[in-house]
A = this chain, B = another copy of it.
Amino acid sequence: MSIVNNDFHKILTERHSVRRFDPSIKISHEEMNEILEETITAPSACNLQAWKFIVVDTKEGREKLHQYFMPFNFPQVDDSSAIVLFFGNTLAYKKYSQLWHTMYEEKKVTKQAMEAALNTFMPLYEKAPQEMLVADSMVDTSLAAMQFMLVAREHGYDTNAMAGYDAKKAAVVMGLDPKQYVPVMAIAIGKHDPKAEPEITTTRYPLSDLVDYE
């Protein structure tokens, strides 16, 4: 594992969005897979894992992103080591029965627990309205996205989460079925360009504006 920083408090509090990347930094697919393996330890509703990742790190891939990203974000698209597209998978429940059978074979759950889970949750998902499947997959995928941004810091990289692209085009341009896959965000990963200006550190609202105790 290529871990360069394992200080949780620093990883969390020193993460900032970086928009100007050093174009000479490459991330191997081996290391990207390590980063994504850690990313998918995130929890998800009913462990449905309703996420899908596309790692764009070729010239051809970046050109596709120019078709639906805002020109404002082209520097990150062009100069980052990779752009990881986070899509929600609204049909993740179709693999769910097989997942529980695997967990049963791995002796993580009893047959009774497996059957209870499948009998409880599968009918809910099979009858669920599309909006619910979209919302659930967006939440799951956002949890994974947050872990990705932190794992990137563990590996010594910076990130910039981007939205605001043309969401209607995102799946189609990337060759995915837009009914099944919902774009949640795109995250550029790489290292801050030492020749660029320092990035803005943003201000948070005071906690007292955001929290109530009951």
Q: Give CA–CA (A17, B45) in the complex, Å.
A: 11
CB <8 Å contact, A203 and B103: yes
CB <8 Å contact, A150 and B37: no
CB <8 Å contact, A147 and B40: no
Report chain B residues within 8 Å CB of A78.
none
Q: Give CA–CA (A203, B161) in the complex, Å.
A: 27
Q: Give CA–CA (A51, B146) in the complex, Å.
A: 15
A6 at the interface (CB under 8 A from B): yes
Copies in the complex: 2
CB <8 Å contact, A163 and B45: yes
Q: Give CA–CA (A145, B147) in the complex, Å.
A: 11
CB <8 Å contact, A12 and B33: no
CB <8 Å contact, A161 and B43: yes
List residues 136-174 of chain A with CB under 8 A from any CB of chain B.
Answer: 136, 138-139, 142-143, 145-147, 149-151, 154, 161, 163-164, 174
CB <8 Å contact, A213 and B29: yes
Nearest neighbor of A187 in chain B, beta-carbon distance: B43
CB <8 Å contact, B12 and A150: yes
CB <8 Å contact, A41 and B204: yes
Contact of A139 among B3, B36, B163 (CB under 8 A): B163
CB <8 Å contact, A139 and B136: no
List residues 1-56 of chain A with CB under 8 A from any CB of chain B.
Answer: 1, 3, 5-9, 11-13, 15, 17, 29, 33, 36-38, 40-43, 45, 47, 49, 51-56
CB <8 Å contact, A108 and B207: no
Q: Give CA–CA (A139, B164) in the complex, Å.
A: 13
A55-B214, A99-B205 known; 11 new pairs, CB 8 Å cut-off, are: A6-B8, A13-B38, A40-B205, A43-B149, A49-B204, A103-B200, A103-B202, A106-B203, A139-B184, A146-B146, A174-B214
